[in-house]
Chain A
Amino acid sequence: MVAAAAHRTWIILLTLLLALMLGALPMPEAFEWGRPEWVALTLIYWSLALPHRVGPWWGWVVGLLVDILHGSLLGVHALSLALIVYVTGRLYLRIRMFPVWQQAWLVLVLVGIHQMLLQWAQTLTGNGAEGLAFLLPSLVSAVIWPWIFVVLRGVRRALRVS
């Protein structure tokens, strides 16, 4: 029973799938600028909670799926998600000690790095944006981080994913 409870990878996969779907949901144009990075947030949470399970490879594979879904340059999301999962995995002991609002600051930085890498790749392929509005999703992500954190922690504890 204990062994079975320890391997509930499908719950992690399910939350990531849900995040993928939320990320692809069509929205009015006004909201689209501030769409939170659901996939990045979910990955950050799981690599924070279970760093021994969810490593950069998860970021890589999920990132590839995001690339295919968005039709972006293959490997861009993969690279940047793998990077932020790696950073989270290195700092997880420290981040866990932070109060949630302080974690949100860190999420702002992490998702900001993610956005910046994507923007670089887009500029290279000729789709670059003017201004800093592309950083808006990282701000929104930081604002909703506390809720993501509470919800996913609830899921993890209720379903005993470890």
Chain B
Amino acid sequence: MKHYRGYLTLAVTPVQWFVDAPSRMWTQLDQLVANRDDLQLENSRLQSDLLILARKLQRLDSLNIENAYLRELLGARSKVDDRVQLAELIGVNPDTFIHQVVINRGLRDQVFIGQPVLDSGGVMGQVVEVGPYTSRVLMVSDTQHAIPVRVNRSGFRAVLLGKGDLKELELDHVPDTADIQVGDLLISSGLGQRFPADYPVAEVTEIRHDPGRPFARIKARPTARLDKSRHVLLVFQSPQPVWEPSPGEAPLTVSVPAASSIASAAIKSATPTVPKKDL
């Protein structure tokens, strides 16, 4: 019964479909009657975009190989690229206090709860409810959302909280002395083991140091276009080398780094001897 809410949405899927129909039809109509000049303009723009991206990709390929080589030297696991699936937004939560959107992929497309959702700009949110045909995405700007991030420039780690504002997020518990500047890019750190690492999340827009407060107040603007994106990407992460205690075993506070598979194996073999009443 994990997906009971998801199955309940079957009852309102027709409503969502009808509500989305005008915008879907509008898009189709727009494509149908598009101006030739506009199309040519768009085409040339896309081609120049493609050229720029292709150039970046050339660099990326060599960097990837170099990275893999260096990681091999260090004895660390090489990173595997994530698989993504395209999805389309079909509904927005009409409630102004809940920042959720509905997308047109569900259990049939192997969507799962907690799946990260990206758009062209960066991290958009995560799946919180999966139905057979649709699923519901909680956006990073919702008051109930938090995402572990890292400052791209300095590597400083923090937690980015939603505030119920589509254009503003807040960094939580950042000391006044932390190395962080306006304009810094915040990328996902992957420490929560829910979001994949190294995707852009937000850009720092304002830093206030108030002597009366224990922490600096830092605001950031999400890089994803939370209120505009219609096409989003669902990320299927490549399996992360993470050790998790199975139920019944003692929860160890040691976090196992990805590389030390030997250590994790040692811990795994050691834990069954821990009696249950010690929990």
Query: Within 8 Å of chain A (Cβ to Cβ): is B178?
Result: no
Q: Tell me the minimal C-beta distance from A38 to chain B in angstroms.
A: 10
Contact B95–A25 (Cβ < 8 Å): no
Query: Within 8 Å of chain A (Cβ to Cβ): is B154?
Result: no
Query: Within 8 Å of chain B (Cβ to Cβ): is A101?
Result: no
- Alpha-carbon distance between A74 and B5 when the two chains are bound, in angstroms: 9
Query: Within 8 Å of chain B (Cβ to Cβ): is A68?
Result: yes
- Alpha-carbon distance between A97 and B209 when the two chains are bound, in angstroms: 62
- Alpha-carbon distance between A134 and B92 when the two chains are bound, in angstroms: 18
- Alpha-carbon distance between A69 and B18 when the two chains are bound, in angstroms: 13
Contact B98–A21 (Cβ < 8 Å): no
- Chain A residues with a Cβ under 8 A of chain B: 17, 20-21, 23-27, 29, 32-33, 35, 65, 68-72, 74, 122, 126-129, 134
Residue in contact with B144 in the complex, picked from A29, A72, A126, CB distance below 8 Å: A126
Contact B98–A70 (Cβ < 8 Å): yes
Residue in contact with A70 in the complex, picked from B8, B93, B142, B164, CB distance below 8 Å: B93
Query: Within 8 Å of chain A (Cβ to Cβ): is B97?
Result: yes
Interface of B is mostly: mixed
Query: Within 8 Å of chain A (Cβ to Cβ): is B104?
Result: no
Residues of A within 8 A of B8 (CB): 68, 74
Contact B143–A70 (Cβ < 8 Å): no
Residues of B within 8 A of A70 (CB): 93-95, 98
- Alpha-carbon distance between A105 and B11 when the two chains are bound, in angstroms: 34
User: Closest A-chain residue to B144, C-beta based?
Assistant: A126
Contact A68–B92 (Cβ < 8 Å): no
User: Closest B-chain residue to A20, C-beta based?
Assistant: B15
Contact B15–A32 (Cβ < 8 Å): no
User: Closest B-chain residue to A69, C-beta based?
Assistant: B12
Residue in contact with B23 in the complex, picked from A26, A74, A126, CB distance below 8 Å: A26
Residues of B within 8 A of A27 (CB): 94
Query: Within 8 Å of chain A (Cβ to Cβ): is B76?
Result: no
Q: Tell me the minimal C-beta distance from A10 to chain B in angstroms.
A: 15
Query: Within 8 Å of chain A (Cβ to Cβ): is B115?
Result: no
Contact B11–A129 (Cβ < 8 Å): no
Query: Within 8 Å of chain A (Cβ to Cβ): is B227?
Result: yes
- Alpha-carbon distance between A127 and B19 when the two chains are bound, in angstroms: 25
Residues of B within 8 A of A69 (CB): 12, 15-16
Query: Within 8 Å of chain A (Cβ to Cβ): is B166?
Result: yes
- Alpha-carbon distance between A3 and B33 when the two chains are bound, in angstroms: 50
Query: Within 8 Å of chain A (Cβ to Cβ): is B193?
Result: no
The 12 listed contacts between A and B (C-beta, < 8 Å) are A23-B94, A24-B94, A25-B94, A26-B94, A65-B12, A69-B12, A70-B94, A70-B98, A72-B98, A126-B143, A129-B96, A129-B164
